[in-house]
Amino acid sequence: MKSLEQKYAEFEKRSHHAEVGGGKERIEKQHAEGKKTARERLNDLLDPGSFVELDKLVVHRGTDFGMDKTKIAGDGVVTGYGKIEGRLVYVYAQDFTVFGGTLSRANADKIVKVMKLATKMGAPLIGLNDSGGARIQEGVQSLSGYADIFMLNVRASGVIPQISAIMGPCAGGAVYSPALTDFILMVRDTSYMFVTGPDVIRAVTHEEVTKEELGGAMTHNSKSGVAHLTADDDEQAIMMLRELIGFLPSNNLSEAPVVPTHDPISREDEHLQTLVPADPNKPYDMSEIIHSIVDDGNFFEVQPHYAKNIIIGYGRFNGRTTGIVANQPAHLAGVLDIDSSVKAARFVRFCDAFNIPIVTLVDVPGFMPGTTQEYGGIIKHGAKLLYAFAEATVPKITLITRKAYGGAYDVMASKHIGADVNLAYPMAEIAVMGAEGAINIIYRNKLKTEEDRLNAVEAYREAFANPYRAAELGYVDEIILPKQTRSKIIQALEMTKNKHVQNPMRKHGNIPL
């Protein structure tokens, strides 16, 4: 019979073996590639001493291809829970040093366990992905593990925030779990995502493409829109995850944490008085307004490299998290197109699911014209943003800084689709279209001289290129000076804090997809 000391020694030995994963050589190789190990990442992500590991000693159950002779405790994924700034989160981190982080039936069960716990306990789930994909030696058992994870991603959607950090390879079926989560962060140079790799593409379509070109961090952050955030290395990725979590509530029944600020509610910024040019055709940077009005100038932008004609992200007003959607006149004149509509629509739906108020800053000349947009389905995709704003029941505050033309005026959280407070600057232009285009239609070939045309344009501008007609009709609640923006938005947010609206009972709506 073993003594107590021997039993304790055996436990220590097994625990140590689990903690070194694939061993010293593979850990060194991971470091040489500029990547941290799964445990190092979790230690950086979570508050010191808060990580509680689950299923540390789990091993795979595979017997084919000699797998029964190679078993490593933990089996390629580290799972458990801990705290970020004192708040509970559930985590899993794939360990590339063990079988390339591939998914077995056993380690899928570990991930399933923390996903179920996260949903049950109402806490965010963060997955750190670094995996070679399905464990081929297990065949359909591995695939069943992926499908179980996908199902739980869908069940948890809108219930708890789900965040995926791609910190290495993520290919094949493995990409669909991150795609189902709320935010995807990728690391430059060391991470990639694709359904089929360069070798398969070369064989099937004869296209030559590198992993980085096909599915690298910047590809998915700037071209496809699959990813939301980019980090330069593992350390920055972890810092961004911690910052993002700070803006979010733990679940759909709670509110985001309030962060005390010394930034005065009534602070006015004289720079805003001259930021929006008198000439409606001159661009300006909408992000300057955003940074000016949020607490301490701290704005956490989401998808900054994709569809730059619209800005989305989180700021705080008097300590409370608020989602911000803003047209960007400095890029494509702030026009709405397919990519910007989809980008903003998903963000609005996330905010609505998690009780985050939405502030919308409007300077939109309309929808992007052209065959590319029409053939691509701008009608359907623009309707997604319209649907998202109309469906949202959280407080919705809208400020028209300059142009609000045509159907795009309606879509950008207008009073008519449920905004609670609608504000406008004195230079706002709320009309069906710009003065030049309107006159060309109204007086088609009837104006004989250029002077007549210019006079007609000026008359139209005087009548419609201002916020007063909308204010007279109650479509704009208040016209404000630009320097008052911060205080007026905070007043509106405080007034709407206890808003309660319930949409009609239904299984779910049918958003145009």
* Residues involved in catalysis: 172-173, 407-408
CA distance 254 to 248: 10
Residues 6+ apart with CB under 8 A from 16: none
Give ∠ CA 18-108-200 in degrees, rounded to 5.
105
Burial degree of 256 (CB within 10 A; 0-12, 13-18, 19+):
buried
- Asked if 328 contacts 334 with a C-beta cutoff of 8 angstroms, the reply is yes
Task: Estimate to the nearest angstrom the gap between the alpha carbon of 495 and the chain centroid.
Answer: 27
Give ∠ CA 433-439-442 in degrees, rounded to 5.
100
Give ∠ CA 142-143-148 in degrees, rounded to 5.
100
Which residue in 332, 358, 334, 333 sits closest to 345, CA to CA? 358
**Helix, strand, or coil (residue 268):** coil
β partners of residue 52:
81
Q: Which residues of 194-219 are buried (b: 16+ CB within 10 A; e: fewer)?
A: beebbeebeeeeeeeeebeebbbbeb
How would you classify residue 8: left for phi > 0, otherwise alpha for psi between -120 and 50, otherwise beta?
alpha
CA distance 82 to 42: 9
